[in-house]
Structure 1
């Protein structure tokens, strides 16, 4: 029993020495950190440095995320615009054919051949309805409207047949069309001077 007491006592004497070594080491580290803090007031503790780094990384992440969202939104809008005007070249190539049908119908009306007139009108309407279903619209311009250079192209000016037609559209030479919100062919008009 006495031996056990001496053993425990010897353990007790060694444990404080180990604790004192750890304490001394911790105290030395604290003194070094304190001296560094005095030398450079700008020096941060490791926790503060980590918090600052975390805040910077969060900021970078948020900015990158916002840029990516803007990119997605922009590409989606561009894709929609592309789909809306994907047929533009084909539809523009069909516009002169529509004009030819209109001229043909005008000339056939001058004859007495009603069967031919009905046949050509059916084909013309079928072509127009197909193109209109793809998004084509006629630009609404008619004689008597005020001329607006944003929606019509003036090919010539003539003396106004009446005073109320000065600066207004006298005649529409060629119809204009738009695809969605974009005008793909401006109407060609004659203006009264």
Structure 2
């Protein structure tokens, strides 16, 4: 007997129908056909496993990038009150005559600000007279508008807002005209 003459019997599952009670005949496959079918099945398993592994690599890389950005976000958010304190200190020092002291504080503030900017921190630009948008600003209070054209617009900026990359990490706190 040669390899081509050897037959392998495979039974197919029966379909239960009300009209047919007889079982279907078994299909005989040659060894080559059986090996070809097994190879196709193993190749399919391999491709699925490979695709699953690629998805896993992509997902873990994305999670790692998000983890690094989130870690820096927490540190930068914690430093924002320090930047605000520097701004308030410089404002009060400008009222006094201690120019050398204010220059030193301004240098330290500039160094901190430039370091944060290198890490991706950006100031959200808001000025008095801009139109209030609830998606981009946080309204602290409403006061009567000094003029009719200031109704629904920003009167004063209480606290600056900041973005880290594309994400706003602190919305600017504003006073709007009523």
Q: Given the two structures, how large is their TM-score scaled by the length of structure 1? A: 0.72
Q: Are 2:44 and 1:59 equivalent residues in the alignment?
A: yes
| Correspondence list, 1:111-190, <5 A | 111-190=96-175
Distance 1:191 1:62 in 2: 60
Larger Rg: 1
State the secondary structure of the residue aligned to 1:148. coil
How big is the alpha-carbon RMSD for the aligned residues of Structure 1 and Structure 2? 2.6
Q: Are 2:34 and 1:75 equivalent residues in the alignment?
A: no
State the secondary structure of the residue aligned to 1:50. helix
Match of 1:40 in 2: 25
State the secondary structure of the residue aligned to 1:44. strand
In structure 2, do the counterparts of structure 1 residues 152 and 44 end up closer, same or farther at CA, with 3 Å as the change threshold?
farther
For structure 1, the 5+ residue unaligned runs are 1-21, 34-38
Q: Which moved more, 1:97-106 or 1:80-89?
A: 80-89
Greater share of strand: 2
Q: Given the two structures, how large is their TM-score scaled by the length of structure 2? A: 0.78
Distance 1:59 1:164 in 2: 69
Aligned residues: 163
For structure 2, the 5+ residue unaligned runs are 10-23
Greater share of helix: 1
Distance 1:167 1:188 in 2: 15
Distance 1:160 1:58 in 2: 73
